[in-house]
Structure 1
Amino acid sequence: MATVSLRVGDLVWGKLGGYPPWPGKIVNPPKDLKKPRGKKCFFVKFFGTEDHAWIKVDQLKSYQLHKEEMVKITKGKRFQQAVDAVEEFIKSKVSVLTSLDDKNRHISSEDKRQNSSTAEISEHNTRKRGRPPKEEKDAFPEPSTVKRLITGPVAEYKWKSGSCSAIIQKLKTTAEEEAESTSIQAADSTATNGTVTPTDKRIGFLGLGLMGSGIVANLLKMGHTVTVWNRTGEKCDPFLQEGARLGRTPAEVVSTCDITLSCISDPKSAKDLVLGPSGVLQGIRPGKCYVDMSTVDPETATEISQVITSRGGRFLEAPVSGNRQLSENGMLVVLAAGDKALFDDCSSCFQAMGKKSFYLGEVGNASKMMLIVNMILGSFMASVAEGFTLAKIASQSQEVLLYILSQGPLASAFLDQKCQSILQGNFKPDFLLKHIQKDLRLAIAMGDAVNHSTPMAAAANEVFKKAKALDQSENDMSAVYLACNQ
C-alpha cells in the first residue's frame, strides 16, 4: 500500500503480478496509451530494463522510504543492476544541481540585487493574489511537506539530508527519548540492508511450521550455522540442501548447539518438546541456552523457564508477531523476556528474522504482550469478516468496501491481504485459524486471571470456534468469514 501521495517524476518500487518489487520512475504515458479503468494507477518505467507498465497505486511504494526493505527481500544480478541504475540516476541529479549552484555563485552582485528586487516584487504581487510563495524543488522526488512526511512510521526509515531530514530527526529523537524513559529496550534489525554479522555460536532450531520455516531460511541466508529438527522429518530436507545440519532428537540438537530456538504451535506442544522423551531438558547442562519462540500463556513460559534454569541452562521467551509472509521476508517483530545476556547473544538471529526486537523484562511479560497483540489482531479480523458479510447481505459491493477501507485510517497490508482472501475465496494459510483462536482463548484466560473482562475478544473467540467447527482450522484466519455467513 502506498504510504505517501505520488506524482510524475517520483522514484518508486512497483509490484506487477507475481514478480518481485522493482525500482522504477513514474512518467507520463504516451499520448495514444489509454489508462486502464478501475483503480487509480501510474505509468512506470522500470530501471535496468526497457519495460514499462501501468501499476496500481496500492502496488507502489516510495523508492527512498522502502529501499532497505526491498533490497532485503529481493536478490539477483538483474535486480542489483536495476538498483545501481537508480543510484546513478540520483547521483546525476545531484551533480546537475551542484553545477547549477556553482554557476549561480558567479552571478555579479549587481545581477543579484536586480534578481532580488524582481523576486521581492513578484512575491509581493503573488501574495496579494492569495498564493503562497513557491519553494525550491528538492533534488530527489521525495515528500516536500510535513503532511507527506508523517504518513509513514518515522523511525523505520533513513532520510536524506536537508530540511526534511531535520524534521524527521527531531520526531525520531522525541520518540527515542520517550522509549528510553521506560524499562523496555528495543533493537532495530539491520538485516534489511544486509549488514548482519552472524554469531559464531552454533544455533539449533526446533519446529519447521509456517513461522519456523521462514525463520530458519533467513538464519541460513544470513550465514548462521544451524542444526534443525522437526517432528515430520521430511520438512528438514530443503534446509539440509541449503547447508543446515540435521538433529535426530530435540535433546541432540540442544546438546550439540550453543543456543537452541523453538517455534511450536501451543502450550501443550511447547511443554512436551521440553519434558517429553529425548526432549530439550535432556540436552540441557550448565551454559546451554534455550529460546522458546512459541506463543503460549505466561504460566507455561514460566514453567519452562524454571525447569531449564534448574539444570543450569539459560532461558529466554521470544514469541514473534507476524505471519508466514513476514517470516519469509525476515520482517517479524520479536518480543523477548528473561535472560538479558541471552537476548544480547541472540542479536544477530533476531536481526536475521525480524525488523525489530523488544526486551520486556522478566519471563512472562513477552507472553502477555504477545497474547494482547494477537487478541487485537483476532478481534479485528472477526470484525472485518462481519463487515464484509453485512455488505453482501445489504447488497453492497464488497470490492467497493475494500477500496473505501484502503483509503481511510484502517489502510494496511494486513487489511488488504485478508480482504483479498475473502473476495477470492482463497484461504491458503498465512496465519492458521486454529492458532489465532488459541491465542484469543489464552488472552481471555489471562484477563480472567487478573479479574478483567474481555468482551470483544470473547465475542470474536466464539466466531472463530464456529469456524473451527466448519473444518477451517487448517485454513487462514480470514476463513472466519465463512462462519459469519452461516
Structure 2
Amino acid sequence: MLTEHAVLSPERTTIGFVGTGVMGRSMAANLMKAGYRLVVSTRTREKAQPLLDAGAVWKDTAGEVAAAADVIITIVGLPSDVEEVYLHEGGIIHRAKPGAYLIDMTTSAPALARRIYEQAKARGLHALDAPVSGGDVGAKNGTLVIMVGGEEPDFQAVQPIFEALGKNIVLHGPAGMGQHAKMCNQIAIATNMIGVAEAMAYAVKAGLDPERVLSSITGGAAGSWSLSNLAPRMIRGDFAPGFYIQHLVKDLRIALDMADQLGLALPGVKLSESMYEALIERGEAYSGTQALYKYYVPDAQGGAHD
C-alpha cells in the first residue's frame, strides 16, 4: 500500500490499464516506456498483445486488474462501460487496494464521474476524472491534453503518470469538472470540423489544389488543429480512426444533455450530431471523425479499415 499522496514514481508503482483500443494501447505503451509495471485488461485480448509482448501482465477482468495495481487507469467506450467496470459488484471500486488511485480517462458524463468519486472516497480510494484530447497522434507521441477533475493532492500525486501521457495537463476543479472541460473541447471540435470539411469540399469542387489551399490557410485566422492534422487525411482519402465517429456522437449527446440541464442552446452541436448520425447510417461508425468530408463528397475513397 502506498503512503497517502505519495508521488507515484515508476520504481514503486504498478499501473492497471483497462481499455487498449485506438488510444489506450499507445497510452499504455508510453507508461511502460516511462518505467511503470503494467497490468492490463481489455475486451479483446489480441488488442493488448503488443503490450503483453513488451512485458505487461494480462488479467481477465477490470476487477482483477484493480486488485493487482496501485493505480488503475480506464479508457473505455461508453458511460455504461465506465459504470460497469467501476461500480458493478466485483468491479474496480470493490476490488481496489486501500489508498489506490482510480483515473478514468474515458469521455463520460460529469454526474457519473462524481458518483465514482463519492463511492471511491467512501472506500478510502482516490478518484480522478481525466478525459483526454489529441487523438491517435497525441496518444502515440505522449502529447495528449489531459483535463482533470478531482482533489488537488490526488492530482499532484499522479503528475508523473500524466506527464508520461501528455503535455497540457490542467486541474479544472472537483470531481466531474474534467468531464465538463472535455465537453467544451468536443463542442469546439464538432463545429470546427464542419468548417474544415466544407472548406476542403469547396476547394475540390472549385478545381483548386487542396494541398495548396491548406498551405495558404493553415497559418492564418482559419488555422486549427483539425485543419492542420485532419484535413490532409481528408485529401488523401484516409478515414481510418484516430477517434471513432460513434464515440464523438456519444460525446455530443452528453454535451447536449448537459446543455439542456444548464439551459443553454447549442445549435451547432445539434447540427454536427445530426450529420455524424447520417454517416453512421451509411456505415461509417468506425471511421475517423475526418470522414465528415464524406457528407459533402460521398464518393471520396477510403474507409475505416483501408
TM over 0.5: same fold?
yes
Structure 1 residue ranges (4+ consecutive) displaced by more than 6 angstroms after TM superposition: none
Of the two structures, which has the highest relative contact order with CA contacts closer than 8 Å and spacing of 6 or more? 2
Q: How does 1:188-207 map to 2 (within 5 A)?
A: 198=10, 200-207=12-19
How far residue 452 of structure 1 moved from its aligned partner, in angstroms, is 0.7
How far residue 355 of structure 1 moved from its aligned partner, in angstroms, is 0.9
| 1:324 partnered with 2:142 | no
1:363-392 residue CA offsets vs partner (Å, 9 max, x unmatched):
111100011111101211122112222333
For 2:78, the equivalent position in structure 1 comes to 266
SS in 1 for 2:243: coil
Of 168, 173, 183, which residue of structure 2 is paired with 1:361? 173
Of 54, 60, 81, which residue of structure 2 is paired with 1:248? 60
For 1:232, the equivalent position in structure 2 comes to 44
Question: Match for 2:277: what amino acid?
Answer: K
With over 3 angstroms needed to count, the CA separation of the structure-2 counterparts of 1:301 and 1:452, relative to structure 1, is same
1:46-74 residue CA offsets vs partner (Å, 9 max, x unmatched):
xxxxxxxxxxxxxxxxxxxxxxxxxxxxx
* Alignment coverage as a number of residue pairs: 291
How far residue 485 of structure 1 moved from its aligned partner, in angstroms, is 3.3
Of 442, 445, 451, which residue of structure 1 is paired with 2:263? 451
In 2, Cα distance between equivalents of 1:199 and 1:470: 49
Of 287, 291, 296, which residue of structure 2 is paired with 1:479? 291
In 2, Cα distance between equivalents of 1:241 and 1:399: 40
Q: How does 1:393-412 map to 2 (within 5 A)?
A: 393-412=205-224
For 1:377, the equivalent position in structure 2 comes to 189
The answer (yes or no) to whether the contact 2:9–2:160 under 8 Å persists in 1 is yes
The answer (yes or no) to whether the contact 1:463–1:484 under 8 Å persists in 2 is no
In 2, Cα distance between equivalents of 1:420 and 1:338: 37
| 1:294 partnered with 2:106 | yes
How far residue 404 of structure 1 moved from its aligned partner, in angstroms, is 2.2
SS in 2 for 1:360: strand
1:309-352 residue CA offsets vs partner (Å, 9 max, x unmatched):
23332211111111111101110111111132222221111111
The answer (yes or no) to whether the contact 2:98–2:123 under 8 Å persists in 1 is yes
In 2, Cα distance between equivalents of 1:273 and 1:382: 34
In 2, Cα distance between equivalents of 1:412 and 1:451: 29
For 2:248, the equivalent position in structure 1 comes to 436
SS in 1 for 2:39: strand
In 2, Cα distance between equivalents of 1:202 and 1:303: 25
In 1, Cα distance between equivalents of 2:109 and 2:9: 33
For 2:272, the equivalent position in structure 1 comes to 460
1:283-325 residue CA offsets vs partner (Å, 9 max, x unmatched):
1353222111111121121122222223332211111111111
How far residue 282 of structure 1 moved from its aligned partner, in angstroms, is 2.7
With over 3 angstroms needed to count, the CA separation of the structure-2 counterparts of 1:216 and 1:285, relative to structure 1, is closer
Q: How does 1:149-168 map to 2 (within 5 A)?
A: none
How far residue 206 of structure 1 moved from its aligned partner, in angstroms, is 0.6
In 2, Cα distance between equivalents of 1:422 and 1:234: 29
SS in 1 for 2:173: coil
SS in 1 for 2:23: helix
In 1, Cα distance between equivalents of 2:41 and 2:81: 15
In 1, Cα distance between equivalents of 2:91 and 2:98: 16
| 1:348 partnered with 2:165 | no
1:145-193 residue CA offsets vs partner (Å, 9 max, x unmatched):
xxxxxxxxxxxxxxxxxxxxxxxxxxxxxxxxxxxxxxxxxxxxxxxxx
In 1, Cα distance between equivalents of 2:208 and 2:241: 27
SS in 2 for 1:431: coil
1:169-227 residue CA offsets vs partner (Å, 9 max, x unmatched):
xxxxxxxxxxxxxxxxxxxxxxxxxxx96351221111101111111111000111111
In 1, Cα distance between equivalents of 2:29 and 2:54: 8
Q: Which protein is bigger by CA-based radius of gyration?
A: 1
SS in 2 for 1:333: strand
TM-score, normalised to structure 1, is 0.57
RMSD: 1.9
- For structure 1, the residue ranges without an aligned partner over 5 or more in a row are 1-195
- For structure 2, the residue ranges without an aligned partner over 5 or more in a row are 1-7, 299-306
The answer (yes or no) to whether the contact 2:186–2:252 under 8 Å persists in 1 is yes
How far residue 424 of structure 1 moved from its aligned partner, in angstroms, is 1.4
The answer (yes or no) to whether the contact 1:322–1:333 under 8 Å persists in 2 is yes
The answer (yes or no) to whether the contact 1:378–1:437 under 8 Å persists in 2 is no
TM-score, normalised to structure 2, is 0.89
In 2, Cα distance between equivalents of 1:330 and 1:385: 27
With over 3 angstroms needed to count, the CA separation of the structure-2 counterparts of 1:339 and 1:484, relative to structure 1, is same
